[in-house]
Chain A
Amino acid sequence: DTEVTQTPKHLVMGMTNKKSLKCEQHMGHRAMYWYKQKAKKPPELMFVYSYEKLSINESVPSRFSPECPNSSLLNLHLHALQPEDSALYLCASSQDNNWEGTEAFFGQGTRLTVV
């Protein structure tokens, strides 16, 4: 199994809603990442989890709250989002945070629309 699975694939939410994005991998990877990608732009790093601990937060607003319940799962909790937060949210994983000599895998993403 060399997949990173993200659910849901599409999500439409209102600005007062609370929702969660989920990411799962069963490759034994110990580093997981959230990226945000706007249309026709490259993915931008949001958070890095290494061995289930948050190691990097790229100055992301607190309305995005990551959670890593175990080594296979990564969640992104969303609350009080703005329309400009609409984007493709990508999860990725790698064997560890060093990456070298190992492959990294991205999920298909969740396309989020905030209305």
Chain B
Amino acid sequence: DQQVKQNSPSLSVQEGRISILNCDYTNSMFDYFLWYKKYPAEGPTFLISISSIKDKNEDGRFTVFLNKSAKHLSLHIVPSQPGDSAVYFCAASEVAGNTPLVFGKGTRLSVIA
């Protein structure tokens, strides 16, 4: 059973609009959540994270929201740019740096100019 679920395999958004990528998790022990971005033929690289003591974390155009009661997090990209087109992976772990990351299957974002 997947502990981290990204139910949308793909998403298309017009340039300049908001992209919202969603992630659900089942393990209530998860305490640290991350988003990774992956371009074709490259390794996933870290984008933004949030710990369970927060419900929002912003970094430039990227904001991650965490709803612990719903076991749901989302990544907002505003405004979306063509260079944001990539696969985005949600990941979670029980303790940052001490337990393995569990990844979702990813959502492919296409930002259309």
**Contact between chains at B46 and A100 (CB < 8 Å):** no
Complex formed: what's the CA distance from A45 to B109 in Å? 21
Interchain CB contact under 8 A, B105 and A100: yes
Please state if A39 and B108 are interface contacts (CB–CB under 8 Å): no
- For the complex, give the distance between the alpha carbons of A92 and B101 in Å: 9
Q: What residues of chain A lie closer than 8 Å to B38, measured between beta carbons?
A: 99
Total count of chain B residues near the partner, CB < 8 A:
25
Determine if B106 and A99 form an interchain contact, defined as CB atoms under 8 angstroms apart: yes
From B49, B89, B100, B105, give the contact of A109 (CB < 8 A). Answer: B100
- Majority secondary structure of chain B interface residues (helix, strand, loop or mixed): loop
Nearest A residue to B35 via CB reads A42
Residues of B within 8 A of A102 (CB): 105
Please count how many residues in chain A sit with their CB below 8 Å of the partner chain's CB atoms.
31
Cβ-defined contact, A42 with B34, below 8 A: yes
Do residues B45 and A45 form an inter-chain contact, with CB atoms below 8 A? yes
* Cβ-based interface call for A61 (8 A): no
- Tell me, rounded to whole Å, the shortest Cβ–Cβ distance linking B35 to chain A: 9
Task: Tell me which residues across on chain A come within 8 A of B99, comparing CB atoms.
Answer: 108
